[in-house]
Copies of this chain bind each other. A is one copy, B any other.
Amino acid sequence: MKSKAALVCLNALAHERRLILFRLLVRAGDVGMAVGELAEATAMAGASLTNHLNILRRAGLVEDERRGRVIQCRANYPQMNALLGFLTENCCAGSPGASCTTTSSCNTNRRAS
């Protein structure tokens, strides 16, 4: 994942309502949730919900599939992983052996080569 894409993902998650939406979907797993179910669960107005879902969709964090009249949404785990990867892989890249060795977020000093 490139810096720009990470920024889009971070931006998508950095909003109270969108973080709630994303977490609902993450917990819903493979089955996912319909837009209508999300609307009911969050009591959001339709237009507002669609806009937030679009931001999550553009970030690649949410995917969906039409099933008749219903649009079923799912969290995109690989994209979620890519974001976490971006945040950890680039950590301390310029200074292996620094204090981040003691943290779990930095993998500089754990790489094979």
Chain A residues engaging chain B, CB cutoff 8 angstroms: 3, 6-7, 10-11, 13-16, 19, 23, 26-30, 77-78, 80-81, 84-85, 87-88, 90-95, 98-100, 102-106
Contacts of A16 in B (CB 8 A): 7
A selection of 10 A-B contacts at a CB cut-off of 8 Å is A7-B15, A26-B92, A27-B93, A28-B94, A77-B100, A77-B103, A77-B106, A81-B104, A81-B105, A84-B84
Chain B nearest CB, measured from A89 CB (Å): 11
Inter-chain contact B105/A77, CB cutoff 8 Å: yes
Most buried by B among A29, A30, A102: A29
Inter-chain contact B10/A90, CB cutoff 8 Å: no
Contacts of A85 in B (CB 8 A): 104
**CB < 8 Å: which of B19, B91, B94 contacts A10?**
B19
Contacts of A30 in B (CB 8 A): 98-99
How far is B29's CA from A55's CA once the two chains are assembled, in angstroms? 33
